[in-house]
């Protein structure tokens, strides 16, 4: 039986890390594209991740993406799912944010999703595969000093519906906008922190709790399920209802 292949960018930490492990446990040939060498080496030592393939790759560099996708296509039974999850943030007052910093965030968060989709598209068409882009509720609401990150995540939503039209009907493209997701324990060793969530943190969510990486993974599996083939070009907000709650001080 041919084994389906799933590619997860930024899969060495956070939501991407749990996504990669979840696809692997479901029997997918799972490939992680990530630039963080320390995070990759951490996972290579973890027995749970011993069957996952890792590519050291900068998603903002087209040669890196082109080479990685080509290599994956050569030894796989086709590419079936791409999860564009890689993202960084450089948050500082707008008057202090340099153009290079702005471009760096855009390069990883938005251009990276474009490049992965571009180079994987021909393979996804053959398998009638699926792209999942990870945006953020920051596309709809902001804290101060988040211009680059927020703009990149807004761009992801627009990229999603454009790709859905361009690549359909062979490829479905959808987007997930996570809210507050606690990934403090899903970092590389040097970045792990014990969760420090308070009752107030949980209670400000109508769902009654802060989100977990599994909440996003469950949505990914729902959207990539062939039974849900009528869903494309959509953005799903997974935030415990937080963006629907009116807050008065």
Bridge partners (DSSP) listed for residue 237: 177
> How many C-beta atoms lie closer than 10 Å to residue 18's C-beta?
20
Q: What is the pLDDT at residue 190?
A: 84
Predicted confidence (pLDDT) at residue 160 exceeds the cutoff of 80: yes
Average pLDDT, the chain: 95
Residue 151: band (very low, low, confident or very high) from pLDDT cuts 50, 70, 90: very high
String of DSSP letters for the chain: -PPPEEEEETTTSHHHHHHHHHHHHTT-EEEEEES-HHHHHHHHT-GGGTT-EEEE--TT-HHHHHHHHHHHHHHSS---EEEE---------GGG--HHHHHHHHIIIIIHHHHHHHHHHHHHHHHT-EEEEE--GGGT---TT-HHHHHHHHHHHHHHHHHHHHHTTTSEEEEEEE-SEE-TTSS-GGG-------HHHHHTSTTSS-EEHHHHHHHHHHHH-GGGTT--S-EEEESTTGGG-----
49 is catalytic: no
Q: What is the pLDDT at residue 194?
A: 83
How far apart are the C-alpha atoms of 130 and 164, rounded to whole Å?
10
Question: In this structure, is residue 234 part of a structural domain?
Answer: yes
State what percent of residues in the chain have pLDDT above 90: 91
Question: In this structure, is residue 163 part of a structural domain?
Answer: yes
Q: Are 174 and 164 in contact (CB under 8 A)?
A: yes
What domain range includes position 120? 5-244
Residue 19: band (very low, low, confident or very high) from pLDDT cuts 50, 70, 90: very high
Residue 142: band (very low, low, confident or very high) from pLDDT cuts 50, 70, 90: very high
Q: Which two tokens stand for residue 50?
A: 């011993």
Residue 191: band (very low, low, confident or very high) from pLDDT cuts 50, 70, 90: confident
Question: In this structure, is residue 249 part of a structural domain?
Answer: no
Residue with tokens 């021909």: 122
Question: In this structure, is residue 53 part of a structural domain?
Answer: yes
User: Stretch 18-40: mean pLDDT, rounded?
Assistant: 97
Question: In this structure, is residue 197 part of a structural domain?
Answer: yes
Q: What is the tally of structural domains in the chain?
A: 1
How far apart are the C-alpha atoms of 131 and 82, rounded to whole Å?
5
Question: In this structure, is residue 56 part of a structural domain?
Answer: yes
Predicted confidence (pLDDT) at residue 1 exceeds the cutoff of 70: no
Predicted confidence (pLDDT) at residue 123 exceeds the cutoff of 60: yes
Catalytic residue among 28, 49, 149, 248: 149
Question: In this structure, is residue 161 part of a structural domain?
Answer: yes
pTM of the model: 0.96
Q: What is the pLDDT at residue 171?
A: 98
Predicted confidence (pLDDT) at residue 237 exceeds the cutoff of 90: yes
User: Stretch 93-104: mean pLDDT, rounded?
Assistant: 98
Question: In this structure, is residue 20 part of a structural domain?
Answer: yes
User: Stretch 203-208: mean pLDDT, rounded?
Assistant: 94
Q: Check which CATH number belongs to the domain holding 139 and give it.
A: 3.40.50.720
Q: What is the pLDDT at residue 189?
A: 81
Predicted confidence (pLDDT) at residue 74 exceeds the cutoff of 70: yes
């Amino acid at each position: 039986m041919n084994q389906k292949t799933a590619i997860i960018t930024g899969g060495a930490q956070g939501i991407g890390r749990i996504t990669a492990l979840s696809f692997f446990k479901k029997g997918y040939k799972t490939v992680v594209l990530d630039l963080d060498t320390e995070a990759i080496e951490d996972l290579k030592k973890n027995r749970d991740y011993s069957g996952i393939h890792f590519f050291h790759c900068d998603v903002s560099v087209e040669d890196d993406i082109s080479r990685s996708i080509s290599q994956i296509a050569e030894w796989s039974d086709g590419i079936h799912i791409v999860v564009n999850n890689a993202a960084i943030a450089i948050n500082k007052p707008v008057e202090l944010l340099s153009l290079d910093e702005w471009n760096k965030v855009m390069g990883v968060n938005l251009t990276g999703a474009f490049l992965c989709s571009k180079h994987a598209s021909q393979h996804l068409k053959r398998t009638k595969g699926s792209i999942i882009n990870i945006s953020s509720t920051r596309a709809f609401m902001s804290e101060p000093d988040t211009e680059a990150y927020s703009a990149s995540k807004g761009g992801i939503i627009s990229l999603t519906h454009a790709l859905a039209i361009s690549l359909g009907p062979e490829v479905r493209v959808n987007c997930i906008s996570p809210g507050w997701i606690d990934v403090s324990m899903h970092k590389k060793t040097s970045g792990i922190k014990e969760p420090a969530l308070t009752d107030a943190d949980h209670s400000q969510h109508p769902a009654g709790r802060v989100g977990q990486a599994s909440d996003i993974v469950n949505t990914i599996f729902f959207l990539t399920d062939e039974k849900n083939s009528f869903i494309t070009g959509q953005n799903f907000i997974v935030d415990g209802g937080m963006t629907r709650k009116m807050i008065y001080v």
